[in-house]
Chain A
């Protein structure tokens, strides 16, 4: 018995050692408290992003290596990445950040953690989607209300978000969020609240606007942790809910459901993922080259093709999935005053969390 234990221990130790040996190509990599500052990691660019899931991070790292860039991707949720960039502004660790939408990037910019840079491809994108100065648009996402089209016909489907809580047939048939931490949820509320702008109202929103929020929470079926909306649609628990455009095709297939989306007459809110140069980077030139490369028509086109995304770069759209391009071509974008939304979003989230979420 004792021998067996020793054997197991030895095997584990050997595996760990072997693993350490194999992985120790970069100098400060064995996780020992070596105290080496980030700058010592040679010419590796540190890239922060919230867009590394589903294999995107690995794909990008491999592509970048082919193009001669050594990058290390640090993945974090949108809010985490934003807080990290702000917290580190005195001694930045990242060189480039991408994937965050304009709401997040404007927070980072306001804290003075971004450096202005005009990428080589600036002329190929619609400047209005970024700030035209520090952060530049890469990919568009529509934030949609989707419904189970096997169950509900187009005529019987809701025409707008507000139908969900004003028409009895949709009450408790739609999923509502249980937290406002995600970008998608915040954009849904940006889209709804913007319509009720009233400078004399609480936080710039009329009483009627807040009433809508109250009703949204009162009549929706709360989301279930670790259970995807599509899983709930498949099992018939709910029929509709919020979804970003890029995930729909994939989820329909996995859960064997068909989903159609609602385009309200005011249009739909767009989330635009951006890229920016971090202020204080010690590898500025390299970082700028990376931005020029990653946002170029060619790379964006390949990215769009691989991940079913909608590139902003006009030259890249030819390579993107034609269905996606068509969808966006016919899509009416909601006119949202982002300056107003960015100024108030923090306070809105707080008010909604404290007063309306039940």
Chain B
């Protein structure tokens, strides 16, 4: 799978090159900020009419990760849809892909700031989920302990000789883990920008997406 194993809250987790988080001991896969339907929402609001293929592209990558890890549980960590109207407007092909992915496993939608409210696609809908030492929620809290969140779309810059490598990344310290955005049409917030810089402890690491991901001290 070409993932990067790392310790967190006493468990061994793996950062996958796609930006998904794998917890092998629990047969659990977690992805954050899919932003499905983003292109539809932008067009609806009179913005640019972007190539309308981002939902199926995001789901195709999720499909590959699910095939590789065969999880019993999938957690979507919030902002799974760009908004609820975008969810309802999801093209049939993407909806079918999603239904196929959900079949036969526990599927949990954590609510995000973009997609608060009920989801009519099946699965369990929660504000947060605690499983053993880990708590899954959308936005990092002040009192984190074994907290896995998303929301900020972290990315980081690694200076190389004469050029830089910029990649989405996981951010991890002793108390919290922040996932990169999994959605195709998503940008990022630099790890050195606020609030990420103060949110993460001084010894935090960034795991830059690559095959396998690259662990570096979190750039500040």
A interacts with B: no
Measured CB to CB, the residues of A under 8 A from B are none
Measured CB to CB, the residues of B under 8 A from A are none
